[in-house]
Amino acid sequence: MPHPLHIGKGKDLPCAPLTQNDRLLYDWQAYARCYDAKTVDAHLISIRDFERYVSVRSFADIKDRDADGWRAALVGRTKVMGSEGGLSRSTVRHRASHLRAFFDWLAKQNGFKHLASVSGYFALPRGLTAKNDQSDPRSCPTLSEAIQMLNGLPQTRLIDRRDRAVLALAFMAGLRESALISLRMCHVDVARRKIFHDGETLRAKNGKSFVIDWFPRTEAFQAVFCAWYAEARGLGLRDNDSLFPDMHVLSRLRWRTKPDRPEIPPMRSASTVDVIFRRASAIVGQRYTPHSARHMLANLGDQLCRTSEMRKAWSLNLGHETEAITMQHYGRISAERKAEILAEFTDRAVLTCDEMQLMLDYHHHHHHLDRGSPEFARAAQLVEKHKLKPYRRHVISLFE
């Protein structure tokens, strides 16, 4: 039986002459150039998995029962441990979706129209397509929860401080995990409180380049990140070195200080970020993904933004170039104006609903708060910060 070539992730397979399937996949990749490269790779993994299931038969000979058999096998893998070849429900949904899309495309090609019914057999049972609310990737912590996650992580060892800085930067800049791990020291401007999201050098979605101003209300995260940045510089990390190196590289003290050493590369995989978020979210009894930091910031913007221009600046800072209503009325905002607007959040000291409730509880003889609790400390900090503000009594009176 012929082996498929290395189109996709079949690096363990020996090279062999091109098969009809290989030629079809070359044609499909031309069609799929509208997708991100990672998306194309994910589709290819799914297609090759199906091809192995049918013993590398030609796609032209696929029958409805082949698709049905693969679907049943795929569903069965949700009940098996990952170490034994099991797959998560999310992975199963994606793989089934990839095969449906591929056979929809294939059935429209000359000579393959007889495959029109195959794609329907990749549809999954309703129980698998319904998402579990507890693992919804759009769920996210509140700002207070995020701070609790940060404070709950250990900080004794060098790797602990690096991990805390990774979490901190995610919540203060809203970076996707692939961009987060590929940042270098030169992408950070601590003095100006900015991150340069360079689409040419970062593993960035769609190769976007823009400047991120550190988000308001993230001062707790900024302090942790700045401490790590200063420590990294002190350890000998240079401009072109990874901001968050693998620890086995970072621990080689003598190697780091050599003047002619090569630059320290970024981590190869974002799995470290996943582990950090899993540990941190367990502190608050939840399971949050790295992407939840972006959702937290989006929710925070919903609470703080008072004008369409503010919402537009907030959206641009997350790397979203289009926002229907604000784009229609305000068009583009310059980088300078975006920075000015974001600075206004600090100058005006706009409070979130949670912050106002904490201050209210604190002023009412502390009877709603436990002395020594993180909430009490946070409330005391807020009251101290805003005690000279002329609108403090007005804010409190709104809740009385």
Whether residue 172 is found in the same domain as residue 194:
yes
Q: How confident is the model at residue 79 (pLDDT cuts 50, 70, 90)?
A: confident
Average pLDDT in the 144-151 region?
94
Both structure tokens of 193? 């409180």
pLDDT in tens, 306-364: 888 888 889 889 887 654 433 443 345 667 777 877 777 766 566 777 777 777 777 76
Q: How confident is the model at residue 390 (pLDDT cuts 50, 70, 90)?
A: very low
Higher pLDDT, 65 or 391: 65
Both structure tokens of 74? 């795929």
Whether residue 176 is found in the same domain as residue 53:
no
Does residue 315 belong to any structural domain of this protein?
A: no
Q: How confident is the model at residue 373 (pLDDT cuts 50, 70, 90)?
A: confident
Does residue 378 belong to any structural domain of this protein?
A: yes
Q: Residue ranges of the alpha helices (H) in the chain?
A: 20-31, 37-53, 64-76, 89-106, 126-129, 143-152, 158-173, 177-182, 219-234, 247-250, 253-256, 271-282, 292-304, 308-317, 324-330, 335-348, 353-363, 374-386, 392-397
Q: Answer positive or negative: Cα dihedral of 155, 158, 161, 166.
A: negative
Residue 133: is its pLDDT beyond 60?
A: no
User: Which residue among 130, 157, 172 closes a domain?
Assistant: 130
pLDDT at 90: 83
Does residue 227 belong to any structural domain of this protein?
A: yes
pLDDT at 328: 41
CATH number at residue 152: 1.10.443.10
Q: How confident is the model at residue 179 (pLDDT cuts 50, 70, 90)?
A: confident
Average pLDDT in the 247-255 region?
73
Whether residue 149 is found in the same domain as residue 227:
yes
Whether residue 388 is found in the same domain as residue 288:
no
Q: How confident is the model at residue 244 (pLDDT cuts 50, 70, 90)?
A: very high
Whether residue 162 is found in the same domain as residue 122:
no
How many structural domains are present in the chain?
A: 3
pTM of the full structure: 0.58
User: Which residue among 273, 294, 315 closes a domain?
Assistant: 294
DSSP for 90-147, written as a single string: HHHHHHHHHHHHHHHHHTTSTT-GGGTTGGGGGPPPHHHHSPPGGG-TT----HHHHH
User: What is the DSSP-derived secondary structure letter of residue 213?
Assistant: E
Average pLDDT in the 82-108 region?
87
Q: How confident is the model at residue 17 (pLDDT cuts 50, 70, 90)?
A: low
DSSP for 161-212, written as a single string: HHHHHHHHHHHHH---HHHHHH-BGGGEETTTTEEEE-TTTS--GGG--EEE
What is the rounded distance in angstroms from the CA atom of residue 207 to the CA atom of residue 195? Answer: 15
pLDDT at 310: 87
pLDDT at 6: 46
Q: Angle at Cα 172 formed by Cα 344 and Cα 277, nearest 5°?
A: 155
Higher pLDDT, 239 or 400: 239
Whether residue 125 is found in the same domain as residue 242:
no
Residue 392: is its pLDDT beyond 70?
A: no
Q: How confident is the model at residue 35 (pLDDT cuts 50, 70, 90)?
A: confident
Phi, psi dihedral angles at 210 (to 5 degrees): -165, 170
Does residue 3 belong to any structural domain of this protein?
A: no
Does residue 396 belong to any structural domain of this protein?
A: yes
pLDDT at 336: 77
Does residue 54 belong to any structural domain of this protein?
A: yes
The pLDDT > 70 percentage for the chain reads: 81
Exposed / middle / buried, residue 230 (Cβ in 10 Å: 0-12, 13-18, 19+)? exposed
Among 46-50, 251-255, 380-384, the minimum mean pLDDT is found in 251-255
pLDDT in tens, 226-237: 999 999 998 889
Does residue 374 belong to any structural domain of this protein?
A: yes
Question: 193 lies in which domain range?
Answer: 143-294
pLDDT at 136: 46
pLDDT at 397: 41
Q: Answer yes or no: are the C-beta atoms of 369 and 379 closer than 8 Å.
A: yes
Whether residue 256 is found in the same domain as residue 211:
yes
Exposed / middle / buried, residue 234 (Cβ in 10 Å: 0-12, 13-18, 19+)? exposed
Q: Residue ranges of the alpha helices (H) in 119-157?
A: 126-129, 143-152
pLDDT at 302: 83
pLDDT at 376: 80
Both structure tokens of 53? 């299931």
